[in-house]
Amino acid sequence: MNSYKVAVLAGDGIGKEIIEANQQVVEACIDATVLDIEWIALPMGWEGIHKEGTPLSEKTKETLQTCDAWILGPHDSAAYPQQFKGERNPSGELRHHFDLFANVRPAKSMPKSNARISDMDLVIYRENTEGYYVDRNMHTGLGEFKVTEDVVVSTGVFTRKAITRIAEAAFEAAMERRKKVTIVHKANVIRLGTGFFFGRLSRSCREVS
C-alpha cells in the first residue's frame, strides 16, 4: 500500500469546515484504491499565534517540507495582532519560502450544467511570487510606501527569471493539451512592467512555434 503524508492547515474562520469537507472528499476518492493517507494537522493563523506565538512558525514550515502534499485553509491576517501586520501573511510566506511561483487554476465546463460556454476547458497559469503582491515581491519587508498621509505607492516587480519560468510552465502544459497559449497582460498602460512580461512571453511563443 502506498502511503502519503498530507499536511492540514485549517487556518481561520470557516477554514475548519472547508478543510474537513476536503478531507472527506479525499477519503472518499481513495476508498477503492490501495492508497493510505496520514493526515498531519499543523497550526496556522490564530491557532499558530495561540500555540506558537506566530501565524506560521518555522517548525510548521519544516514539517511541511517532509509532507507529500498540503491542504491549506483561508486565513484572516487582517485581524491578527498589530505586531504581525508588517509580516507576510501565511499564504504569502508559504509561497515565498517554498518558491511556489505557479498558481495553476483549471477551469472546465461540466456536462449538463447549462454553462454559457459548454465546451470550456482551459488552465490559467499565474505568476505567484512577484507582480503587485506587495507581501511577497520584496526580499525583506513590503513593497508599499506611504509617501504622505494622503499618498501610498504600491510597487510591482517583474523579473526575467520569474517571467521565463512561468512561461515555461504554461508552454509545457500546453504541449500536453491543445498547444495553445493566450497571454493576458496590460502592456498598453503598464508599459515597462507588464510590457516586459508581454515581451518575454511573446518571445517564448515564437521560440516554441
Please, what is the angle between helix 193-208 and helix 160-175, to 10°?
Answer: 40
Grid cell 499564504 is found at 91
Query: What per-residue confidence (pLDDT) applies to 118?
Result: 82
Q: Is 98 left (phi over 0), alpha (psi -120 to 50) or beta?
A: alpha
25: exposed, middle or buried (Cβ count in 10 Å: 0-12, 13-18, 19+): exposed
List the chain residues with pLDDT less than 50: none
Grid cell 500536453 is found at 176
Helix extents (H) in the chain: 15-30, 46-52, 58-65, 90-97, 160-175, 193-208
171: exposed, middle or buried (Cβ count in 10 Å: 0-12, 13-18, 19+): middle
Query: What per-residue confidence (pLDDT) applies to 198?
Result: 86
Residues 6+ apart with CB under 8 A from 30: 36, 37
Q: In this structure, which amino acid lies at residue 116?
A: R
pTM above 0.85, yes or no: no
- Classified by CATH at the fold level, domain 1-100 comes out as Rossmann fold (3.40.50)
pLDDT in tens, 49-81: 999 999 999 999 999 999 999 999 999 998 999
For the chain, give every residue range classified as CATH 3.40.50: 1-100
C-alpha cell at 113: 450544467
